[in-house]
Amino acid sequence: MSMSNKISLFLFLFIVFFCNAQGIKYKITYKETVDSFTVIDSIKLPFPIKFPKHSVIGVLEGNNSKAFYRMEKDIEYHEKLSKKEKLEQSFSILFKDFKNNKLIHERTYPNTDKPVALKTKLNIFSWTLKNESKKIAGFNCKKAIGVDKFNQRVTCWYTDDLNIIGAPYEYDGLPGLVVFVLVDDKPSITYELLKVEYPNKINFPTPNNNIKFVSEEQFRKKQGISIETKTISIIQTHH
C-alpha cells in the first residue's frame, strides 16, 4: 500500500471513529404546556394578572457529546397579551456539554435589552429510578423522580430505545432520552415529545460572549423561583 493510500485510510478511519464518538445526530421536538395561573403581587401590581393555559414548542438538537435546547415563541398567544403581561414572558436557549457536565442557560426577556445567563453543572437534579415502565409515544419508557436543591420535584419518563441521551430544558442526567416530564409546581408544567428526527448536519449556535452572567439565586429569582417570595403569590386554575 502506498503512503498516500495509507494516509487516506488513516483519515477515513479517524473520521469514522470521530463520528461514532459523537454519536447519533438528533433533533427532538417537544411541546411545553403551562397550566393557567394568576399572579398577585401586592407591591408591584395594582391588580391580579391572569395567564391562560398555553403551550410553546421546544427543540433539542445535538449528539451524545453536546446539545442545545431552545424554546420557540408562541406568536398567537404572545400577541394576545397586554404590554404588562408581555414583560412577564421570557425565552431561553440552553447549551449542554454532556462530556464535562456543564450548562450555560441564556434567558432573554421581551421589551428589554439585558439578557442574562447562568453557568452551572448540567445535572442539577438528584434522580431516583423507579421500577415502573410503560409505552409513551411508541417508546418503552421507564420512570424517574428528580429533586433539585430548591426542592422542585419532577417526574420523568425516559427511553433507552434510541441510544440517545437528552432532555428538554434542564431535566438532564437520566440514562436515555426523556419522553415526558411533569413538573410538580404552581403552575404545573409538562413536556411531551412530539417528533424525533435525524438530520445530516446540525448548526450549533455559540453562547453570547457579551452576555451578563449572574448567580444561580439571581437567575432563579428572575425566573420567579425565588426561595423567599413573600409578596407574590400564584394561584393555579385547574382544568
Mean pLDDT on 169-196: 92
DSSP states of 188-221: -EEEEEEEEE--S--------TTSEE--HHHHHH
Helix (H, G, I), strand (E, B) or coil at 147: strand
The pLDDT value recorded for residue 148 is 92
* Exposed / middle / buried, residue 199 (Cβ in 10 Å: 0-12, 13-18, 19+): exposed
The pLDDT value recorded for residue 51 is 65
Mean pLDDT on 193-215: 91
The pLDDT value recorded for residue 45 is 54
Higher pLDDT, 4 or 123: 123
Higher pLDDT, 96 or 115: 96
List the beta strands (DSSP E) in 54-125.
54-62, 66-72, 91-97, 102-108, 116-121
Q: CATH code for 24-236?
A: 2.50.20
The pLDDT value recorded for residue 6 is 39
| Stated pTM of the model | 0.74
Q: In the predicted model, is pLDDT for residue 162 greater than 60? A: yes
The pLDDT value recorded for residue 34 is 83
Higher pLDDT, 209 or 172: 172
The pLDDT value recorded for residue 83 is 53
Of the ranges 5-19, 31-45, 131-145, 172-186, which one carries the lowest mean pLDDT score? 5-19
How far apart are alpha carbons 163 and 52 in whole angstroms? 37
The pLDDT value recorded for residue 54 is 77
> Please, which residues have CB within 8 angstroms of residue 49's CB and are 6 or more apart in sequence?
38, 39, 84, 85, 88
Q: In the predicted model, is pLDDT for residue 13 greater than 80? A: no
* Sign of the C-alpha dihedral computed for residues 184, 189, 195 and 199 taken in this order: negative
How far apart are alpha carbons 203 and 36 in whole angstroms? 35
Q: In the predicted model, is pLDDT for residue 182 greater than 70? A: yes
Any idea which residue has 425565552 for its cell?
A: 91
The pLDDT value recorded for residue 8 is 42
**Torsions phi, psi for 142 (to 5 deg):** -120, 150
* C-alpha cell of residue 68: 442545545
Q: Which residues pair with 4 in a beta bridge?
A: none
How far apart are alpha carbons 146 and 128 in whole angstroms? 6
Q: In the predicted model, is pLDDT for residue 14 greater than 80? A: no
The pLDDT value recorded for residue 115 is 79
> Please, which residues have CB within 8 angstroms of residue 7's CB and are 6 or more apart in sequence?
none
Share of the chain above pLDDT 70, in %: 65
**pLDDT tens-digit series, residues 28-75:** 999 999 876 666 654 555 666 666 777 889 999 999 899 999 987 554
